[in-house]
Amino acid sequence: MSKLDKGSKIAVIGSGSMGAGIAQVAATAGHKVCLFDNHSEALDAASGKLTKIFNRLVEKERITRSEADSILARIEFCQNLEDLAGSDLIVEAIVEDLEAKRNLFSHLELIADDNTILATNTSSLSIAKIASACSKPHRVLGIHFFNPAPLMPLVEIIPAVQTSGDALVEARNLIDSWGKVTVIAKDTPGFIVNRVARPFYGEALRILEEGIADVPTIDWAVKELGGFRMGPFELMDYIGNDINYVVTETVLQEFFYDPRYRPSFTQKRMMEAGWLGRKTGKGYYDYSEGAVNPKPTEDKELGQKVLHRILVMLINEAADALYLNISTREGIELAMTRGVNYPKGLFQWADELGLENVLSQLETLQKLYAEDRYRPSVLLKKMVKEKKTFYSENLIEN
């Protein structure tokens, strides 16, 4: 396995916002970068966007003109896969489609050097399945950035069952050297963030569908009372209802249709109507010029009811991820605070609320709805029974 360092050549496949963002991060860290795309129009758009970003950074005096020019000069815009030859690390950031990624990786083996590490930026697909398209799957792993890549500190590093220890260490050390916060995640659907965060959207949609609170009130409760930077509906509009729905649907399928991850008809209809959020001008909110959106009902009692229902579902999902060794306690806390900007770690929040209270609310919901969606984590039940907390010295070991 080649040693990845500042002198390594990095290739990024896909020049959309994610791919261009990864290229920006790598070039800023001092690497020569090949940003590849099949479409010249996409490359032109990426070049223009990156130039605009660096011009803005110069205007804000974050970097000098000379530094900006040097970083941009390190990015080569490539339209032939052969240009990727000689790269030490290749990161794909193409469409979230399993067969498209498998086809790409099988082609990359014909171009890449024997020691080149091949990484996928998938947010929820099986790394093992992608790696199995290669004759040397030991050098394949997941390196999952969050959008926008230059600003979001977290990167999930996901080894497949085939990934070698050397490839994992080299990739993680490199991303750490870029100033990112890395966490190791098990190769399971959604990894850490996209698994644990599902109830943030799903339970908010369920509360809306039941008529307990409307969109602005749910968002108000989560932000004002919970301290989140964005409410679930604001965030879905920001991500795009198409993207958010597809990730939920993918996680559901990959978890053998576990009802915990069932998508919402409300979001499906928004997607079908083309109301995708900010990028289309309309989603749960109207983003057209002069639009007046409804105000929240600022009822603290109602707001606490909404917030706690979403919180206990998030805590339950985090507890299950820990119980199933998806990552460590610290890894999961870092992932949620640095990957999606939660105001505090979910295990810390659980201890503050009291695990007995969290479990009691989950059991009440499960009894009321008679749905597996609300089943409490085994770890949560064990900890309550044995009077343990997440940050006590005697945290249950599996």
Chain-centroid distance of CA 271 in Å reads 20
Dihedral class, residue 377 (left if φ above 0, else alpha if ψ from -120 to 50, else beta): beta
Tokens 């968002």 belong to 219
Residue 237 near residue 205 (C-beta atoms within 8 A): no
Tally Cβ neighbours within 10 Å of residue 302.
17
3-state DSSP call for residue 148?
A: coil
In terms of Cα–Cα distance, which of 194, 227, 166, 212 is closest to 339? 194
Q: In the 8-state DSSP scheme, what is residue 397?
A: P
Q: With CA atoms as reference, report the closest residue to 97 among 125, 76, 66.
A: 125
| Structural tokens at position 380 | 């949560």
Query: Is 68 in a helix, a strand, or coil?
Result: helix
E strand or H helix at 92:
strand 89-92
Q: What type of residue sits at position 290? A: G
**Which residue spans within 112-244 are E strands per DSSP?**
117-120, 140-145, 154-159, 181-184
Q: How many CA atoms lie within 13 A of 384 on its CB side?
A: 19
- Rounded Cα distance between 3 and 25, Å, is 19
Cα–chain center distance at 170: 22
> Annotated catalytic sites, by residue?
123, 144, 156, 194
Contacts of 357 (CB under 8 A, 6+ apart): none
Contact 380, 366 (CB under 8 A): no
Hey, what are 247's tokens?
């990730």
CA 261, chain centre distance (Å):
16
The strand pair at 89-92 and 140-145 is best described as unpaired
> What is the DSSP annotation of 269-316?
HHHHHT--BGGGTBSSSB-STT--PPPP---HHHHHHHHHHHHHHHHH
